[in-house]
Amino acid sequence: MNKKDPYIDLWNKICSILQSKLPEWKKKIADGGQVSAVEARERGDEFSDNQIFHGIVKAVLSNSTDWSRIEKVLPELNDLFHDFDLEYYSGLSANDIERDFLPWFSERGAGSLTMKQNLKSLIKTAQILKDCSQRIGSLNRYLTSLLELNKNDTIALVQQLGSYKSLHKLPALGIPIAAEAMKNVGFDVAKPDRHINRAMGSFKLVHFSKWPDRSKCKAPQITETEMIDVMQSMDRFAKHVGVRVSFMDNAIWLLCCSCKSGLYLSNAQLSGLV
């Protein structure tokens, strides 16, 4: 008798749970726009500076908050961010953030504990990106040139933009937010956030040196090296079962997240799938 492929078996179980408990899960992933952005980049489509800054802004806003709060204000962000114009945002001050932006998000129930610092750091990020665009010709060219310098390794691109060790690090980004931003603008990569990390640990596909409390939905304490390990493991998993890593990332996120969209499976439930 042929032995079951453990990766395909695990992926089938993930899809089966999502299908039974969240029948519109594939539509939710499609509506998020990341997979279609990956498909567009694979076709050779160019992304404008405004589109790329839009993707970065969405990623930064997702930091340390319930995504459903941000999701409900997405249609209004164009006006607030002046169509995600780098010239506009790079010219803002910390006072502008406190006077105009923070009350706007607070009034709509979309604020977070880290939003003030995130939006202020985003000003410096916009200034750097504007300079890169002017120097190289566009942000798309900047990202693709950085990708080429890193031997077309998308995970290495994320490291360049998000690692504290990198000369190319953008102030508003760490590795998870850099990964989210790159997914938003068509690079096929996983985001090593708390949900993906605990899933990969529960699936025994990644080992974490510090995970003192594995009860309920507690996540591991993770280093940058382990974040890279998560992204590489997700990449191998996705390629093995024949799906885009951005699609798998979104599927596992829906399995694990605690916002209104997700199933919030515990670590024990995730471990039970293996």
Distance, CA of 23 to CA of 189 (rounded, Å): 25
pLDDT tens digits, 211-253: 999 999 999 999 999 999 999 999 999 999 999 999 999 999 9
Average pLDDT, the chain: 96
- Do 200 and 244 fall within a single domain? yes
pLDDT tens digits, 101-128: 999 999 999 988 899 999 999 999 999 9
74, part of any domain: yes
- Do 138 and 51 fall within a single domain? yes
- Do 156 and 262 fall within a single domain? no
- Do 239 and 166 fall within a single domain? no
Cβ atoms < 10 Å from Cβ of 136: 15
- Do 124 and 12 fall within a single domain? no
pLDDT tens digits, 60-102: 999 988 888 999 999 999 999 999 999 999 999 999 999 999 9
1, part of any domain: no
- Do 177 and 260 fall within a single domain? no
List the beta bridge partners of residue 210: 221
Q: Which of 165, 131, 167, 175 is nearest to 146 (CA)?
A: 167
145, part of any domain: yes
Q: Which of 182, 173, 155, 197 is nearest to 34 (CA)?
A: 182
Question: Residue range 167-174: average pLDDT?
Answer: 96
Q: Of 165, 184, 203, which marks where a domain is finished?
A: 184
- Do 46 and 176 fall within a single domain? yes
pTM, entire model: 0.95
Q: Of 154, 184, 214, which marks where a domain is finished?
A: 184
- Do 160 and 194 fall within a single domain? no
Total number of domains constituting the chain: 2
pLDDT band at 1 (very low <50, low <70, confident <90, very high): very low
For residue 2, pLDDT beyond 60: no
Q: Of 159, 184, 209, which marks where a domain is finished?
A: 184
Structural domain of 126: 40-184
- Do 178 and 80 fall within a single domain? yes
**Which of 8-27 are b and which e, b meaning 16 or more Cβ less than 10 Å from the residue's Cβ?**
eebbeebbebbeeebeebbe
pLDDT tens digits, 124-163: 999 999 999 999 999 999 999 999 999 999 999 999 999 9
